[in-house]
Amino acid sequence: MAATAKRPEIIELSRDLRGIPQCEDYERMISGMMYNPNTPKLLEARHQCRGLAADYNNLDTKTISYDQVFEKRLELLRKLVGKVGDGTFIEPPFLPDYGCNVIIGKDCFINWNVTILDTSLVVIGDRVQIGTGASIFTAGHDTSILSRQKFVEFGHPVSIEDDCWIGGNVIILPGVRIGKGSTIGAGSIVTKDIPAYSVAVGSPCRVRKTIQSAEEEEQDPNNPYRNLVRQD
């Protein structure tokens, strides 16, 4: 369902993002209200994203050494998305819709062929890993046929908190929040919020078990990872 009022906290979060198409329909769009996707500023923003995504996805790695690829991709990624932290790497092809509505934390890894329809904001925390073919959808449509004939739609934000692992071909639907440290099994369709420190799978995705936090793992003498040195 579309929202009936703007969301000030979402609009405020967008203020610091690169290249947002600031206008009335943009604020309605990221707030989850009905909006017109064919507003010129929104059309231009999507057009700009296609060009920046092409630059990112078509980087000629034959002309640079392997140890230069990371920094070059991060440089291009910072032109494509709204905000991204240090140490984050995305394997191409990467397919965002607006790009500017995507916030990615530090030390994340996103594998090949990930699609993000960022009609509203997509906020990805630190140290998140996302498998091949995953799709994150903030865009939504009413079941009303008339709404499609009138060319109106809406979107709700998606949040993936720190230290999550999203398996290959997972689909995350509008308005979902995936809690800190959670794992989403490959092929799952996430329709509702997932609590922190959960392992969830299925269609629709459901929690199967809970796990220890990183702090609890550090205190567990039987944990096989607690004495490992971080691999950079």
> Cα(7)–Cα(45) distance, rounded to whole angstroms?
21
Residue corresponding to tokens 């205190």: 219
The verdict on whether omega for the bond into residue 195 sits within 30 degrees of 0, i.e. cis, is: no
Short-list 120, 116, 117, 138, CA closest to 128: 116
Catalytic residue among 47, 50, 78, 141: 141
Both structure tokens of 24? 């009335």
Distance of CA 147 to the CA centre of its chain: 26
CB 213 within 8 A of CB 195: no
Cβ pair 85, 128 in contact under 8 A:
no
141 catalytically annotated: yes
Instruction: Please report the DSSP string for 88-107 in residue order.
Output: -EEPSPEEESSSTTEEE-SS
Which residue numbers are catalytic? 141
